Amino acid sequence: MSSSKRPAETAPDFAPASKKRGRPAKNIIEESATAREFAEKISENTRAFRRENVDSHVGELIRPPGDGWSQAHEDAMNRMWGKTDHKEAVGGMLKNGKTTQGHLLSLFKVCLRVYKMSPIRFMSFSNGVEYLGDRGSSAIFSRAYSDELARLIVHPAFNGKKENVAIAMQYAVICRIDDRRLWPDTTSRPACPALIKMVEVMNESETGESEDSIHRTHLECRRECAREGKTPSKISDLLFAVGETVKKSTVKGIEVSDAAKTYRGLPVRPVSLYDLKHIKKTLDETTWPYESWNCTTTEALYSYQSVMAQPEAPTAEELPTYFERAHKKKLRDWMLKSNYDPQVEVEAEGAGIDQGQGDGGSPQVEEGFRAGGFGQVGDDAGSPIVNPPSNPEPASGPGRPSERPSATEPRRRAQRPPPVETLANVAVQRPGLVPDGYNPYLSVGQGVGSPSKSELLAQVNNQGKKIADQDKKLADQDKKLAECKGEIDDLLKRVAALEAEKDKQRDNAVSHEEAGRGLAGHFADSQFNPDLPNVLQLRFRRDHD
């Protein structure tokens, strides 16, 4: 590991210094002290995945009706699942009792421990990304893809936060295909001054796309921060460096169709192996000013494996079930977010109308809907999560993204009823009316259309009551604030009155003292007090008798 550091950034368009780093010999990886320290740190702050949490962390195999989720929703989800390539892939995951997908098994273990979610959920619209395979079927992550993703997850530059890895993957895709859709696609205010300016610039767009490339816009925002004396965040530094790596790359990578930029109508960035390799190259070949970042992704994963010694779930036999659970959860999440109405699908099927392509017929999602430590890794036979770092670049060519149709036959769509005013819609369109703690991904039943009119009306009424209750709470808080303000004003008046009274008493005391001194001088003068000598003699005798 090189000990040299990048000099302090002096220009807003400065790229971190690249360092020449040779590839280690096959099967020989020297452990990095920096990587080891980070692996031990996150090992102390995380816990191994427990099987009793499989429903919440991975997903339910069967979700019973209740809390706004009906059997019609579950049936519709199962129809979608039955038409995916993923269901077909489940049957080939075990051969003679051994897994054929050791790399995916290892990735599951890493992701469940670090992020408390499956890699299927992580690489989904929930984080604005989607897996894009390089050739053939994209139902299962390739070995090289799984290995590269695992390396990134455990690298100290991302500090164990899934949001940091997700935004880096988005940016790598954006720079590679010159995706000018508005980014960052977030309703929250970033903690980085450069990204705050990015959001402001994107909000000014009237076309829904950036006039200039996202990377160029990011550069200009960083320069403006420098002129204002503000320092971009570390993640901005990383993103800019990734963009420079992509710009210098001579590999075009996989072409991305417009269909690959959405998942069932929701906007995503399709992440290929090339994009992961661009991030890896940036981390491996840059000398960062942050010492804790200065290790390669391979060293980070090697230290991670060295620190964790105990086997963790899932096992090879459990992987097919976990894979199915994860994809069913992804479909349910999509149904919640898109306000999917299974009754429309049933009516359309009865009329012989195809409601969509692939995956059971997905309805269109309304335009403008925004997407919003470690344990032993490797399969049960003890194979490591990564092979020696000799993954070849995949052959270029169009990939077939998961859960996407290949047929192009024309279709008709039944007219859908207007969307129900649900918390999921309100959260997107009017976030100010929804409690801060509301999360459409985690709250079961919120934002899901009901199969009966009475339930729909009841749901709307309940939501109206919740909003009214919130308004009432806000009014009560305003009233309490007004009362507190009145009490504070009264206290200030009393303090002022006390201070005035104190000043008055002080003035009176001074006046009395001056008057007393005047009288004493008057009576001490024999001209004005002829009996003074006699008085003094009598006082002298009294004091000495």
C-alpha–C-alpha distance, residues 505 and 310, integer Å: 80
pTM of the model: 0.63
Tokens of 381: 């036979």
286-287 and 129-131 beta bridge pairing: unpaired
The dihedral over CA atoms of 68, 70, 73, 78, expressed in degrees to the nearest 10, equals 130
149, 103 contact by CB (below 8 A): no
58, 322 contact by CB (below 8 A): yes
Domain boundaries, the chain: 29-404, 453-544
Q: Which pLDDT does position 525 carry in this prediction?
A: 55
C-alpha–C-alpha distance, residues 74 and 82, integer Å: 12
111, 375 contact by CB (below 8 A): no
C-alpha–C-alpha distance, residues 179 and 170, integer Å: 10
In this structure, what are the phi and psi dihedrals at residue 130, rounded to the nearest 5 degrees? -155, 145
Tokens of 192: 């980085």
DSSP bridge partners of 507: none
35, 299 contact by CB (below 8 A): yes
Q: Which pLDDT does position 439 carry in this prediction?
A: 42
Which value, in Å, is the radius of gyration of the alpha carbons in the chain? 35
213, 176 contact by CB (below 8 A): no
Q: What is the DSSP letter of 259?
A: G
Q: Which pLDDT does position 310 carry in this prediction?
A: 81
Q: What is the DSSP letter of 5?
A: -
Report which of 310, 320, 376 is spatially closest to residue 100, judged by C-alpha positions.
320
Q: Which pLDDT does position 347 carry in this prediction?
A: 61
Report which of 286, 292, 248 is spatially closest to residue 17, judged by C-alpha positions.
286
Distance of CA 9 to the CA centre of its chain: 27
C-alpha–C-alpha distance, residues 238 and 16, integer Å: 9
The secondary element (H helix, E strand) that includes residue 477 is helix 453-524
3-state secondary structure 364-413: CCCCCCCCCCCCCCCCCCCCCCCCCCCCCCCCCCCCCCCCCCCCCCCCCC
What does the buried/exposed string (b/e) look like for 511-520 if buried means 16 or more CB atoms within 10 Å of the residue's CB? Answer: eeeeeeeeee
Q: How far is CA 450 from CA 73, 214, 418, in A?
A: 9, 40, 13
Q: Which pLDDT does position 513 carry in this prediction?
A: 65
**Tens digits of pLDDT across the chain (545 residues):** 444 444 434 344 445 555 545 444 455 677 889 999 999 998 999 999 999 999 999 999 999 998 878 999 999 999 999 999 999 999 999 999 899 999 999 999 999 999 999 999 999 999 999 999 986 567 999 999 999 999 999 999 999 999 999 999 999 999 999 999 999 977 677 889 999 999 999 999 889 899 999 999 999 999 999 999 999 999 999 999 999 999 999 887 888 999 999 999 999 999 999 999 999 999 999 999 999 999 999 999 999 999 987 888 999 999 999 999 999 999 999 998 999 999 887 665 554 433 333 343 343 333 333 343 333 333 333 333 333 333 334 444 444 444 444 444 444 444 444 444 444 444 444 444 444 443 433 333 333 333 445 555 556 666 777 787 788 888 888 888 888 888 888 888 888 888 888 878 877 776 666 666 655 555 555 555 566 666 666 766 666 66
Tokens of 537: 């003699």
Tokens of 208: 């829904």
- Identify whether 451 is preceded by a cis peptide bond (ω within 30 of 0): no
Look at the block and give the residue holding tokens 């109405």: 341
Q: Which pLDDT does position 395 carry in this prediction?
A: 42
Burial (CB < 10 A; 0-12, 13-18, 19+), residue 426, is: buried
C-alpha–C-alpha distance, residues 434 and 431, integer Å: 5
168, 239 contact by CB (below 8 A): yes
**Taking phi first (over 0 means left), then psi (-120 to 50 degrees means alpha), and beta for anything else, what does residue 27 get?**
left
Taking residue 292's Cβ as centre, other Cβ atoms within 10 Å add up to: 14
C-alpha–C-alpha distance, residues 526 and 541, integer Å: 20
Tokens of 406: 């290949």
236, 12 contact by CB (below 8 A): no
Q: Which pLDDT does position 502 carry in this prediction?
A: 82
Half-sphere exposure of 465 (CA within 13 A, CB side): 6
193, 227 contact by CB (below 8 A): no
124, 327 contact by CB (below 8 A): no
Burial (CB < 10 A; 0-12, 13-18, 19+), residue 46, is: middle
38, 151 contact by CB (below 8 A): no
